Amino acid sequence: MDKISEIEDMLENLAEDIEPHLPLIPKFLSSLDSTDKPLSIFSMTSFFPKVESIRAGIFEVAKIEEYYSVSILYRSLIEHFIKAQYMWMKTNSNSDDSVGIDYWLFGQDKENIDYAKALEHGYSLIGMSPKIPSLQALHEMGIVSKDKSANKIRKKTEQFNYKNMVHYLADSLKTKESGAAPILSSIFPRYSQLSSFVHGGPDSVNAYEKSPEELQEIIEMATFASLYTRWCAFILFYQYDKSVEPLCQIAQGYLHKYTGHNKSSNLTGEKDSPSS
């Protein structure tokens, strides 16, 4: 896996270049409450370690040629990357913290309701029925505030459905001369195809072998997603704190170097600098 080793060496060099400037990150994050969009910034930023973790997982299972796991992780990577880009664009375009509130607060409410409903269904399988509906129980326990109806929570969180995010990104990028549009036409059908692997569908039987071209696509996309999400997070920081410019410049330099050497990964054509 010479390609993986080469990329890992590059990422190690990136980490070494960033290391002297790392204190800038916790310093900025500790002052989020003083910004106008604390939850949006925090939520978007939280996607970099998630994407990087999946990227590392893809590399490790690719090394042992465990291609079924590679396929499952690749689908998760695509969704994480799309959600990170959606959060980034919404945070930049909104005049308030609404996308962060919708993602973090209403999103947590939805997950709590879904879990409560799953428990409710599990009890029904053994002949037990709850005395009150799951949402009412969550209201009474104070887990979900009483001013949030199930309909309101659904409306606030349906924007984070994969198809809705993709269509928003596509519509937003139509007005730009360059952007991530090429990636959408590439990974949107791939995401659907990979559903079979996640859910154990019949097409997943083809996962045990991958052509060199298929594996290269996954490795390059995972690397690009990690580099680009990191860069977007730093650019978001820069809008509020100009001292993080070294982080932006370093991340941008590695992103351009990588996409320049891997034309199939040059998916955004992004040329903006922090000062633009």
The domain of 207 spans 2-8+35-95+160-177+187-240+258-265
Mean pLDDT on 21-42: 96
pLDDT tens across 76-130, in order? Answer: 999 999 999 999 999 999 999 999 999 999 999 999 888 888 888 887 888 887 7
Q: What is the pTM of this model?
A: 0.88
> Does residue 224 contact residue 259 with C-beta atoms inside 8 Å?
yes
Looking at the structure of the chain, the number of domains it has is 1
Instruction: Decide if pLDDT at 273 tops 70.
Output: no
In-domain check, residue 57: yes
In-domain check, residue 61: yes
CA angle in degrees (0–180, nearest 5) for 179-210-163: 40
pLDDT tens across 51-83, in order? Answer: 999 999 999 999 998 989 999 999 999 999 999
Residue with the larger pLDDT of the pair 47 and 149: 47
In-domain check, residue 167: yes
Helical packing angle, 181-193 and 67-93, nearest 10°: 140
- CA–CA gap between residue 276 and residue 272 (Å, rounded): 6
In-domain check, residue 85: yes
As a whole number, the mean pLDDT across the chain is: 87
In-domain check, residue 129: no
In 10 A of CB 234, how many CB atoms?
26
- CA–CA gap between residue 230 and residue 226 (Å, rounded): 6
Q: Shortest CA distance to 50 belongs to which of 78, 30, 71, 27? A: 78
pLDDT tens across 218-254, in order? Answer: 999 999 999 999 999 999 999 999 999 999 999 999 9
> Does residue 186 contact residue 194 with C-beta atoms inside 8 Å?
no
Instruction: Decide if pLDDT at 270 tops 80.
Output: no
> Does residue 222 contact residue 74 with C-beta atoms inside 8 Å?
yes
Give residue 213's pLDDT. 83
Instruction: Decide if pLDDT at 196 tops 90.
Output: no
> Does residue 73 contact residue 57 with C-beta atoms inside 8 Å?
yes
Per DSSP, 179 falls in state S
Q: Identify the three-state secondary structure at position 32.
A: helix
In-domain check, residue 21: no
Give residue 144's pLDDT. 87
Cα 23–chain centre separation: 24
In-domain check, residue 275: no
In-domain check, residue 149: no
Of the pLDDT bands very low, low, confident and very high (cuts 50, 70, 90), residue 176 is low
Find all residues with CB under 8 Å of 134, minimum gap 6, and list them.
113, 116, 117, 119, 120
Give residue 181's pLDDT. 54
Instruction: Decide if pLDDT at 175 tops 80.
Output: no
- CA–CA gap between residue 13 and residue 22 (Å, rounded): 14
